[in-house]
Structure 1
């Protein structure tokens, strides 16, 4: 659990928490997005805003609220851009249309809201047809207050070989970013009923240029536990040319210390299912420990996109699945995220 004495900046400059306020160069992206998993696995959600230089007046947003019974509320679109300036005049707001993020205290407290409609569908329908037509709508109101639970992780900052990999083409797939685990409370108003919830989550701040041509897949998992321990990792599959692939991870142990690690057993995406999938993995820390964490998804959502495709979009470009899982580490259980992608050629029919 984060305390007042914990340095939640992780050495990242405070101004990186502030959004890009004025129209930047075309192609530059400034994004805020969160993954949220209700503590009992009843539902989970992803909410994001992507501000792109060449469409600055109408930022892109995306929303998925997935329930353990397979029901899914989803929306992709753009909207009128909110003013980036908070009440104190700092550029702390990234919002568009029904979505709003605001930084209340850098690296410590953020809020997120969604007020609008979402399309009714199911996890199975999105597997069968990710480009389904949004026709059945329902009113949706979400309010979330996030308290950061660990310092942010900057990919490429923990292992020298990871830094080297991200220094080339592989770095363009994710663009400059950091991610930070949090705990949150919130309300979800749906079908005329307001439910309060407690949840875990991951917040991502990403600013820079991003390119997807050449991307061949990944596995990305992260969660925080009630006792303060946590983990995170991201890895690309082994390269066909034999060159090093990006692979980096970490744990936060019982003493609150972050220890770099390498993922050595990984649950690569090989099929689309709606949930109840084994996503266990093993990390090996730089001091030689093998950390085995059991994972099982409670809902899987095939990605509906949300980013611009390259002009030369290849037929074997990776398919993406976002999921939410129960994780168990030495008997303690929590909820967390997992996103994976694989080329269609390596997936099961």
Structure 2
């Protein structure tokens, strides 16, 4: 577990935590987003703001609050861009309309705030129709304080073969980014009914150009355990006759040491269900250990972004599903995230 004395930057400069404050060139995106899983698996949240140079006056925003019983509150769109500067004059705020993220202390503490209407739906409805008509609304607000629990991971920084893969066009699918696990506490209010909660989560900072054409799928999982142990990986499916696909993972031991790992057991997306799916995985560390992590989703949500494609894009474009899971590692339990995508042609639809 992180202590106040620990350096949680992982060697990254503090400036990486600051957001892009003024409009950049059109192709640049600056994003803050988080995954939050209530520690008991009752519900989970995915919250994000994406500032795109070409539409700088109104940043994109997305919010999903998924309950284990299938209820889902979902909002997409954009909101009036709000100031990027915090009270101390640093560019520590990424906010649009009803959503506000703030870096309180770089690599240590962030906050998220929201207040506004959110569409009522269900995991099953958007599985069937991700472009569903938003017709019923709930009044929702939340406040979340996030305390970082591990050093960040910058894809391509751990395994040499992963760095080589990201050096080509495969790197365009991510854009420059890093992610950091955290523990959280907060209050969620839905139609006047408030509940306090404790949670686990993953924060992502991404700034730069990002390309999508040519992408063929991925599997991305991460979680932090009560003991301080943690794991994470991201892999693209192998392709016959093509260069090696990007694949990279790591574990963090209870003493805070991070060790690189190669994902060897990967639960690729092959069907669309609303929960209760086995997402167990296996990692082989560079120091010779085989790490088996059990996983079972408690909320699966098909992505509402990216399903309406330009007419010149491939028809077999990957379907994306965001999920939240209960993970077990040698009997220790936690909650964490999983996002996967696969082409429809390899799925059981």
Superimposed CA distance per residue, residues 250-305 of structure 1 (whole angstroms, 9 cap, x where no aligned partner): 00012210000000010000000000000001000001110000000001000000
Superimposed CA distance per residue, residues 162-221 of structure 1 (whole angstroms, 9 cap, x where no aligned partner): 000001100000100000000000000012111000000000000000000000000000
Residue 133 of structure 2: aligned partner: 133
- Do 2:158 and 2:248's aligned partners in 1 also have CA atoms closer than 8 Å? yes
3-state SS of 1:237 partner? coil
Superimposed CA distance per residue, residues 111-147 of structure 1 (whole angstroms, 9 cap, x where no aligned partner): 0011101000000000010000111111000110000
Query: 1:50-89 residue pairs with structure 2 within 5 A?
Result: 50-89=50-89
3-state SS of 2:298 partner? strand
How many residues were matched structurally? 349
Q: Which sits farther off after the overlay, 308-317 or 122-131?
A: 308-317
Residue 347 of structure 1: aligned partner: 347
Measure the CA separation in 2 of the matches of 1:241 and 1:5. Answer: 49
Measure the CA separation in 1 of the matches of 2:217 and 2:242. Answer: 15
Are the structure 2 counterparts of residues 306 and 12 from structure 1 closer, same or farther at C-alpha, using a change threshold of 3 Å?
Answer: farther
Measure the CA separation in 1 of the matches of 2:112 and 2:255. Answer: 30
By how many angstroms is 1:311 displaced?
Answer: 6.3
> What CA RMSD, in Å, does the superposition of the two structures yield over aligned residues?
1.1
Are the structure 2 counterparts of residues 16 and 188 from structure 1 closer, same or farther at C-alpha, using a change threshold of 3 Å?
Answer: same
Structure 2 residues without counterparts, runs of 5 or longer: none
Residue 239 of structure 1: aligned partner: 239
Q: Which sits farther off after the overlay, 193-202 or 301-310?
A: 301-310
Q: TM-score, normalised by structure 1?
A: 0.98
Superimposed CA distance per residue, residues 300-341 of structure 1 (whole angstroms, 9 cap, x where no aligned partner): 000000699566321001000000000000000000000000
Deviant stretches of 4+, over 4 Å: 306-311
Query: 1:169-188 residue pairs with structure 2 within 5 A?
Result: 169-188=169-188
- Do 1:147 and 1:183's aligned partners in 2 also have CA atoms closer than 8 Å? yes
Structure 1 residues without counterparts, runs of 5 or longer: none
Residue 168 of structure 1: aligned partner: 168
Measure the CA separation in 2 of the matches of 1:197 and 1:307. Answer: 32
- Do 2:307 and 2:319's aligned partners in 1 also have CA atoms closer than 8 Å? no
Residue 17 of structure 2: aligned partner: 17
Residue 301 of structure 2: aligned partner: 301
Residue 289 of structure 1: aligned partner: 289
Measure the CA separation in 2 of the matches of 1:312 and 1:106. Answer: 42
Measure the CA separation in 2 of the matches of 1:233 and 1:216. Answer: 17
Superimposed CA distance per residue, residues 225-272 of structure 1 (whole angstroms, 9 cap, x where no aligned partner): 000000000000002323100000000012210000000010000000
3-state SS of 2:293 partner? strand
